[in-house]
Amino acid sequence: MALTHIPFPALPIPPSWFPGHMMKFTRMLPTLLTQTDVVLELRDSRLPLTSINGTLEGALQKWRLERGWDPNDATRRVVNSSACERIVVLNKRDLVPEWGLEPFRKAMSSRFPDQQFLFASWQRPRDIRNLSEMLVIYYLEMAPLINGSDIAKKYPYAMELNVLVIGMPNVGKSTLLNALRNMGIKGPTPKALRTSANPGLTQALSTRLKLSLSPLVYAFDTPGVMLPFLGLGEEGAERGVKLALIAGIKEGMYDIEALASYLLYRLNILNPISPAYLHLLPPGSLPTIDIEEFLEALARRMGMVRKGAVPDLRRAAVYFVRWWREEGGLISASSALQIADASFQAGHGAMTHGWGFDLEWQLSAGEIAGTGHQLLIQQKMEVCIDQHLVNMKREELAENNVSATQRKKQIALKEQKERQLKYAKLKRP
């Protein structure tokens, strides 16, 4: 039986989590970029749009303009006096369906021609090698300066490549740098940076870390920076739950049953015919949209009962979320439905379909039965990306991304500046 109608769950108001070390780094970023040749921005493949950090976008765009990129043509450089490249690494690629990787990369490249997109998993040495080779290529573009060729006149100080690694909390920045260091420096290399499954471990800019001896490549690890405010209404609520599910928000800030409810919703969309959570239920179980029904069945299956043989729904919710983070993500990625599947084309009619937790669309019966599915998926993804950008702009204009506390601070700061200006005028002779 396929789920033809998957209602959106009720979600709690998102909490605010923006510690002082995040604000401190945000203020430091423009200065750090003056010493940076390549920005490596890490995002989570499961949330490739939600993990875009709009807080940092302004500083990155200003950096590109100061390095000579054409403001009207993102692919054209007017002044080429120093390196300035931005690579977006979509980490944990093994936790999203393989069939969507290339369509999404093409969709993002068409919308953001100033950025290069690379999918990676730190468990795949080839991915680390590909990223390491990209950095070497940027270095070699500058390397002739060292040998005295014509390019040396353009980059007189290009003796090394400096990389800045940025991104949301818990997307794998420190793990990436450790892997690149092991790849670039021959022989046993100690683990240079501590890593953790919980967000917020890195709270200060790291010392300069050597990633490669030949060529000479250095990098800085940075604190993960959360959005100062996740937003109002349904959009803000969903954004917060998504980030909590991938452990991007500090543990304990969300009710676990709310996370379980949203996770059930998303797994149903990834495969409305045979969702991954059926692995947890008794054989013969059918897909469900009822979170209480699901948690009760899971609790009974796992023997999670309280006094009086009452199913412990909270323990079941904790187990469900933990299962998805540890192994269920791999199962859901490998079992996610694609249009080419015979089960998808078995006459179910129009259906909701999706990829990861950020992209969702409707497929008509004609599209399901048609050909050219890769191009169709890319087009569906481009619509999702466009809608995300429109929503971001609308929230920015409506100040939907500013909390009441932040708005009060902004008003107080504005009033303080006005008083200072008035006082300065009164002091003039």
163-186 per-position pLDDT tens digit: 888 888 888 888 888 888 887 776
Q: Quick check: helix, strand or coil at residue 103? A: helix
- CATH code assigned to 20-220: 3.40.50.300
Of all residues in the chain, what percent carry a pLDDT higher than 90?
A: 33
Query: What secondary structure, in 3-state letters, does 22-43 show?
Result: HHHHHHHHHHHHCCCCEEEEEE
How far is the C-alpha of 376 from the C-alpha of 390, rounded, in Å? Answer: 21
DSSP readout, 272-286?
A: SSS-GGGGGSPTT--
Residue position matching structure tokens 């250095």: 218
Q: How far is 267 from 291, CA to CA, in rounded Å?
A: 12
Q: What is the pLDDT of residues 387-401, one digit of tens each?
A: 999 988 887 776 555
Q: Residue 153: its pLDDT value, please?
A: 37
Of residues 146 and 247, more confidence is placed in 247
Strands 305-306 and 161-167, bridge-based pairing:
unpaired
Q: What SS3 class is residue 150?
A: coil
CATH numeric code, 233-397: 1.10.1580.10
Which residue spans of the chain are classified as CATH 1.10.1580.10? Answer: 233-397
Q: Which of 79-93, 100-114, 333-347 has the highest mean pLDDT?
A: 100-114
What are the backbone dihedrals phi and psi of residue 212, each rounded to the nearest 5 degrees, phi first? -155, 145
Q: Please say whether the beta carbons of 148 and 141 come within 8 A.
A: no
Cis, bond preceding 215 (omega within 30 deg of 0)? yes
Report, as an integer, the average pLDDT of 61-71.
91
pLDDT of 212 above 50: yes
Q: Region 335-352: what's the mean pLDDT?
A: 74
Q: Please list, in sequence order, all residues whose beta carbon lies within 8 angstroms of the beta carbon of residue 94, skipping any fewer than 6 positions away.
A: 121, 123, 124, 330, 333
Average pLDDT score, the chain: 81
Which residue in 275, 271, 242 sits closest to 259, CA to CA? 242
Contact 68, 36 (CB under 8 A): no
Where do the CATH 3.40.50.300 domains begin and end in the chain? 20-220
